[in-house]
Amino acid sequence: MTLTGHSLIAGQPVVGAGKTAFGLNPATNAALEPTYTLITEEQLTTATVAAAAAYPSFSTLDPDTHAAFLDAIADNIEAIGEELIIRAGQETGLPAARLQGERARTTGQLRLFASVVRQGDFRGVRIDPAIPDRTPMPRVDIRQRQIPLGPVAVFGASNFPLAFSTAGGDTASALAAGCPVVFKAHNAHPGTSELVGQAVVKAVKDFNLHPGVFSLIYGPGASIGQALVADPAIKAVGFTGSQAAGIALMRTAAGRPEPIPVYAEMSSLNPVFVFEGALSGSAEQINALAAQYVTAVTASSGQLCTSPGLLFAPAGEPGDKLAAAVAHAVSACAGQTMLTEGIAGSWNQGTETLGSAAGVAVVGQGTPGPTENAPAPTIFGTHISEFVANHVLHEEIFGAASLVIRYSSTDELVEAVNRLEGQLTASLQLTAEDYPTAAPLIPALEQKVGRIIVNGWPTGVEVGHAMVHGGPFPATSDSRITSVGTLAINRFLRPVAYQNIPQELLPVPLQDTNPWHLNRRIDGVIEAAAVVKDEVNA
C-alpha cells in the first residue's frame, strides 16, 4: 500500500495546510518517509461535519450489514500483510512477534464486536406493555432501547500502534455502537496509522456507507486534539495516554456548552502483593516467581499500562530470598528500545527521582540496550513505612522500572492500599494457607482497582465479555467503564424511552414483530430471540 502522508477525511486524502512532521525510528532517531502534513482547525471541521452527516444512516444500520462491515475491516488489516508489521516496527522499535500478536488482537476485537452486533443485546431492548385495565391507574406502553451517542473522537495510544490505535478497541467499540469515528493519529507512528486507516476507508467504500463514518487526521495534540474535543459535532471521546493529556481533554470536554464524556485510560502502578505461602516452596519456585515478575516489568520495555510498578514482599528471610532472586533475574536483562526519545527521557528522569528518594535503594539492575533510547531495567526497594509517607514513591514510571516494598502485616498492606490512587489491576501471589491473611485485602482493593488477579500477572489483557480494563481515577476518568472487552460498547450508548408510540413509528428493535430477532426484556422477563423466531417460522 502507498503511504500518502496526508489525513484521510471522509474517504479522501487531504493535504494538511499546517506544519509537517515525520515518523521517527526510536532506535536511531532517524526520520522516516513520507513527510506527514498536519491539518488546521478549519480542515478539522470537514471531518466532524462529515461524521455528523454519517450518523443518521450509520446509527440505524441493520445488524447483518453492520457486523459484516466490522469483519471486513479486520480482513483488510490482515490483507496488508508484512508491510504493516515492518512499518510499525520501524516507528516503535517493538519486535515483530509483539506486533504480530497486537495485530491479531486488533482484528480479534473487531470480529468480537461484529458478533456483539449480530447478537444485539447491547441494544438493551425493554418493553413494558400497556395494562389499560390496571387499577387504580392504567399503565401506558413504554419501550426502551440504547442508541448511539453520535460521532466519537478517538486518540491513538503511543504504546499500542495497532490494538489501541486506528482500528483498536476504542474505534472498534464506537463503530460497533453505531457511532462514526474521527481518529486522531499518534504522531509517533503515522505510517502505521495510515495503513490501517486505508483498510477502514476501504471497508466503508465497499459497503457503500456514508464516507463520514471514519476519518483519520494528523495534527498537533495541543491544538487539533483540543479542537476535536471542543467541536460541537463530537459527542464522546476515547483516549489512552498520559494523565496530564487525559485531564486536559477532560477539562475541555467539561467546559463545552454541551459537556461530553471523556473515557480516558491514563496511569496505573498495578501493585502485586506476595504472601509468605507463595515463598514457602523451593529455591527454584522462588526463582521462577522472581523471573515472572521481572518479565512482567520488562516486557515491551515496560511500556504497558498493566506493567507492575509495585511489588509488596514480606519482611524477613522469605522476602530476602525473593529480593535476591529478583536482583539476579533483572541483572540478566538488557534494555529494549523505548517508543520515543521523549518517553526514554521521561523514564530516566523518573528513575532518578525515585532512586534519590529517602529510604529507596536499588535492588537490581540490567544493562543498557544496544540502541538509542534503551535504558537498563531497574528494580528499586524500600520499606512500607517509606511508601506510605512519601507520595513520590506512588508516581508512575512508564517503562522497565518497579519498586519492591517490604511489609510485616496485613494491616500495613491495607493501609498502603488505602493510600493508593485508583489502579487498573492488583495481583495476589499466594497459596491456600494465605487465604485468611489475604482476605481483608480484597474489599480494600475493590475500592481501588478494576481487576483483581490471583497467582497471575497483570500483563496480557484477555479480550472477552467479562474483562474490565479500567479502574478508579486516575487509572481512568470513569470507574464505571472498561476500554477492553465487549462491555466497552456501553460507553457510546444512551437510553431512550418511547411511550405510547404507534408500531408504524417505532424503531425496528422495538417493534412487536422483532424483525432483528433480538433478545428483549418484556415486562421484566427476558424473552429469547430464538423463541420469537420459532413463533414467526411456525
C-alpha distances out from residue 415 to 83, 373, 409, Å: 50, 37, 10
Q: Which of these, 351, 34, 12, lies nearest to 190 by C-alpha position?
A: 34
Would you state the cell numbers that stand for residue 51, as one nine-digit string?
461524521
Q: How far is CA 240 from the centre of its chain?
A: 6
Residues 101, 367: Cα–Cα separation, whole Å: 27
H-type helices in 217-358, by residue range?
226-230, 243-254, 283-298, 317-331, 341-355
* Helix H or strand E encompassing 338: none
Edge-first strand listing for the sheet containing 525-527: 493-499, 142-148, 126-128, 520-522, 525-527
Catalytic site includes residue 386: no
Q: Which residue has the cell 426484556?
A: 521
Would you state the cell numbers that stand for residue 292, as one nine-digit string?
515472572
Single-letter amino acid code for the residue at 102: E
Q: Count the Cβ atoms, other than its own, within 10 Å of residue 153.
A: 30
Instruction: Please list the helix, strand and coil fractions of the chain in percent, rounded to the nearest 5, in that order.
Output: 45, 20, 35
Catalytic residue among 102, 194, 265, 386: 265
Q: How far is CA 58 from the centre of its chain?
A: 24
Catalytic site includes residue 333: no
Helix (H, G, I), strand (E, B) or coil at 2: coil
For residues 185 and 218, is the Cβ–Cβ distance under 8 A?
yes
Helix (H, G, I), strand (E, B) or coil at 364: strand
C-alpha distances out from residue 474 to 180, 255, 263, 267, 416, Å: 27, 19, 11, 6, 17
* Cis ω for the linkage preceding 474 (within 30 of 0): yes
Residues 533, 538: Cα–Cα separation, whole Å: 9
Catalytic residue among 305, 333, 412, 421: 305
For residues 273 and 413, is the Cβ–Cβ distance under 8 A?
yes
Q: Which of these, 391, 481, 468, lies nearest to 425 by C-alpha position?
A: 468
List, by residue number, the catalytic residues.
265, 305
